[in-house]
Amino acid sequence: MATALNVPPTAPVTTPQQMKKEEEKVDYLNLPCPIPYEEIHREALMSLKPELFEGMRFDFNKGLSPKFSLSHSVFMGPMEIPSQSSETIKIPTAHYEFGANFIDPKLMLFGRILTDGRLNARLKCDLTENLTLKANAQLSSEPHMSHGMATFDYKGKDYRSQFQLGNGALFGANYIQSVTPHLSFGGEVFWAGQHRKSGIGYAARYNTEKMVATGQVASTGLVALSYVQKVSEKVSLASDFMYNYMSRDVTASFGYDYILRQCRLRGKIDSNGVAAAFLEERLNMGLNFILSAELDHSKKDYKFGFGLTVGE
């Protein structure tokens, strides 16, 4: 066997390596653990859906110890109110948000409170080595505007399963399994008591070191396909296709993500006529400058934002 691999020196160098890879048999009992079901579109979302904002944003993160940090955040700008008509209604608002984070390998607590009294809290706790409890809540002083959700995750050797409970009698469960070292399949089912809706969905993800392709179908009418190609260490390109077969809504988007030494630039263009870009520039250690732009030519809605982030 060894002599077969000793190719003459004039042959290309990749040949012995390629032959070695083919000989490595896929060990189906030793597959890697798959990505959690809700992060199945993670690479595509990171490139195509940056946190675009309008107005001015200032974030200050102060670390009091390696595990504990406080954050102060100021935002001034128009906030969009969801409206029934096609016109977008924007109301200028300004708020200050205070936050505290505690990050431990076993317990993570994340809390943010705004000046209008809204609390956004997240908790992640490792109950055992494989079982994790995650909870998040958005509480507000207004009645019937608070939401909470708790999730139990179980991580197996090559599968993950999750059970979710939410307020308003919301139950959900999902399961994802690695089928080959590159391919994983998953499914989910949910039931919303308050809206009397239930749904089932399936997802598949194929990833290699250079590319990720995912597909998701749900009984709510959603079909989502995405493809991300890592062209080099610094550049990745992503494309996304979403189709709702109930409402006959189609959206395709294409975006890029440049991770350079001093900055991270993400841009995308949409089939709805929306072009967006998001730049994070590292001015100094711990000082980041953010620029965000979103041009919606069909709705004539142009949003520009700038901000500064201080701290890690």
Partner 1 sequence: MASRVSLKSKGKASGKGSKGSQEEKSLAQSFKEWSTWTVKKAKVITHYGFIPLVIIIGMNSEPKPHISQLLSPV
Q: What are phi and psi of 185, to 5 degrees?
A: -120, 145
Q: Which stretch, 10-18, 106-114, 180-188, 228-236, contacts partner 1 (CB under 8 A)?
A: 106-114
Candidates 23, 87, 104, 116; binder of partner 1 (CB under 8 A) is: 104
E-state strands within the chain: 55-63, 68-81, 89-103, 107-114, 119-126, 131-139, 147-155, 159-166, 170-178, 183-192, 197-207, 211-218, 222-230, 235-244, 249-259, 263-270, 274-284, 287-296, 301-310
Q: Is residue 74 at the binding interface for partner 1, with CB under 8 A as the rule?
A: no
Judged by CB under 8 A, the number of residues near partner 1 is 23
- Chain centre distance of CA 194: 27
Contact status: 146 vs partner 1 (CB under 8 A): yes
97 versus 296: smaller Cβ distance to partner 1:
97
- Residue with smaller CB distance to partner 1, 5 or 103: 103
The answer to whether residue 70 forms part of the interface with partner 1 (CB under 8 A) is yes
Shortest gap between Cβ of 38 and partner 1 (angstroms)?
Answer: 23
Min dist CB 93 to partner 1, Å, is 21
- The residue range among 5-13, 93-101, 189-197, 277-285 that interacts with partner 1, by the rule CB under 8 A, is 93-101
- Could you identify the residue written with the tokens 């732009």? 293
Interface segment toward partner 1; rule CB under 8 A; list 8-16, 111-119, 241-249, 294-302: 111-119
Reduced to 3 states (helix: H, G, I; strand: E, B; else coil), residue 63 is: strand
Q: Does 197 bind partner 1 (CB under 8 A)?
A: no
- Residue 215 vs 311, nearer CB to partner 1: 311
- How many C-beta neighbours within 10 Å does residue 67 have? 13
Q: Which of 56, 109, 165, 218 binds partner 1 (CB under 8 A)?
A: 109
Give the separation between CA 235 and CA 207, rounded to whole angstroms: 17
Toward partner 1, which CB reaches closer, 145 or 231? 145
Q: How far apart are the first and last CA of the chain?
A: 53
State the nearest-atom distance from the C-beta of 285 to partner 1, in Å: 15
Q: Which of residues 123-142 bind partner 1 (CB under 8 A)?
A: 137, 139, 141
Q: How far apart are CA 154 and CA 23, in angstroms?
A: 34
Quick one: 60 or 245, whose CB is closer to partner 1?
Answer: 60
Rule CB under 8 A: say whether 279 interacts with partner 1: no
Minimum CB separation of residue 107 from partner 1 in Å reads 8
Question: Strand, coil or helix: what is 200?
Answer: strand
Let me know: does 168 contact 159? Beta carbons within 8 Å: no
Among 102, 152, 159, 289, binds partner 1 (CB under 8 A): 102
**Residue among 306, 278, 304, 299 at smallest CA distance from 87:** 299
Identify the bridge partners of residue 280 per DSSP, sorted by sequence position.
Answer: 264, 290
Q: Which residues bind partner 1 (CB under 8 A)?
A: 62, 64-68, 70, 98-102, 104, 109-111, 113, 119, 121, 137, 139, 141, 146
